[in-house]
Amino acid sequence: MKKLALAAFLFITNHVSADSRIKDIVHFEGIRENILVGYGLAVGLNGTGDNLRNSGFTQNTLIKQLNNMGASTTSMGNLNTKNVASVMVTATLPPFAHPGNTISVQVSTMGDAKSLKGGSLLAIPLLGADGEVYAIAQGTIAIGQPSSDSNKNKPIPTAGYISNGAIVERGVNFDMNTMNELKLALKNPDITTSRMIATAINSQMRDTIAHAQDPGTVIVNIPVTYRDNVVNFLSGIESLHIEPDTVAKVIIDQSTGTVVIGENVRISKVAIAQGNLVLKVSDSDKLKLLLEDSEQDMPNQPGTQLATIETNATLSDLVQGLNALGVTTEDLIAILKSIEQAGALQGVIEVR
């Protein structure tokens, strides 16, 4: 029998401090990354590039590139190389990036190229959402992105990357000292968490300058004394610690048998029979797990394996008790789903 591995589970209990810095749970409005994208050619491929007859856009781009370089092509039929491929290049421009900084780029094929191994990206502009050029990318392509097939730990040959392969040509204009107010966007929107953030800021500044606008936004009015030095103000705010509230949720990954349980998940009174297992949450809030012994003459009688948890019936207690009885991963997932369907699980189950 496949035993349930306790190491495969993450339990968040009330005994563990979950304090987090504000900087780790919010985004500061305006201080964010920007997406860049570009189109160009990868050359130097060892016969693994696009078939020019099948990929007209590659042929047209190659002809244009050659003409710009002064190598005029009079006949398209003369182009029969398979050492070139059309590629899309993507990158992320960090906040406060300045001209001369370098950023890494991702390169992916567009046509029927078999591999980008050994190829080089010709210089191409990377555009932002506003159509402006923010960086220029060029360099030798490295293959190393993992395959989506978990059974094959091999890189995908049609996608690669260039470390520090783009030079920033222009940054995003953003003057923090002109701001009168600041918006904090929560990464995991929650009413209680947003209120706690506002309370922590007001307590630190000894003034009511912050308020929770909604579960995902906290508005902070920048004090007049910090209008010319917003960086120091933000530094003081982002280092504050709070304990974020969490949604009662159970996440099940059936492919790996992993179960993640939030500390707020509870189970109500319920009784379940699963195979030779009898599960009961009693009126006294004690969790009892009875495993019938199949070797006994009277299989309907509970066996000697009994786990009693003298505490509130939490879902993490349930799973630990089932683990002690050697319940399989498949049975555990089935039990959790059955409890939810019975309306006895006070939380949400998310299956992946």
The predicted pLDDT at position 293 comes to 44
β-strand partners of 349? 250
Q: Are 186 and 193 in contact (CB under 8 A)?
A: yes
Task: Say if CB 129 and CB 34 are below 8 A apart.
Answer: yes
Q: Where exactly are the structural domains of the chain? A: 6-13+248-351, 20-31+175-242, 34-168
How many helices (H) and strands (E) in the chain?
A: 6, 23
Instruction: State the distance between the two ends of the chain, measured CA to CA, in whole angstroms.
Output: 24
Q: Note down pLDDT in tens along the chain; length 352 residues.
A: 334 333 334 333 444 446 889 989 998 877 778 999 999 999 999 999 898 888 888 888 888 888 888 776 665 556 778 899 999 999 999 988 899 999 999 999 998 999 999 999 999 999 999 999 999 999 999 987 544 455 556 788 999 999 999 999 998 877 777 788 889 999 989 899 999 999 999 999 999 999 999 999 999 999 988 888 888 888 888 889 998 887 788 888 877 777 777 777 777 776 666 666 666 665 554 555 554 444 444 344 444 444 444 445 566 667 766 666 667 777 777 777 777 777 777 778 888 7
pLDDT computed for residue 81 by the predictor: 83
The pLDDT value recorded for residue 241 is 92
Other beta carbons within 10 angstroms of residue 346's beta carbon come to: 15
Residue 252, pLDDT score: 81
Phi then psi dihedrals of residue 256, to 5 deg: -110, -10
Beta carbons of 88 and 110 less than 8 angstroms apart = yes
This prediction's pTM: 0.61
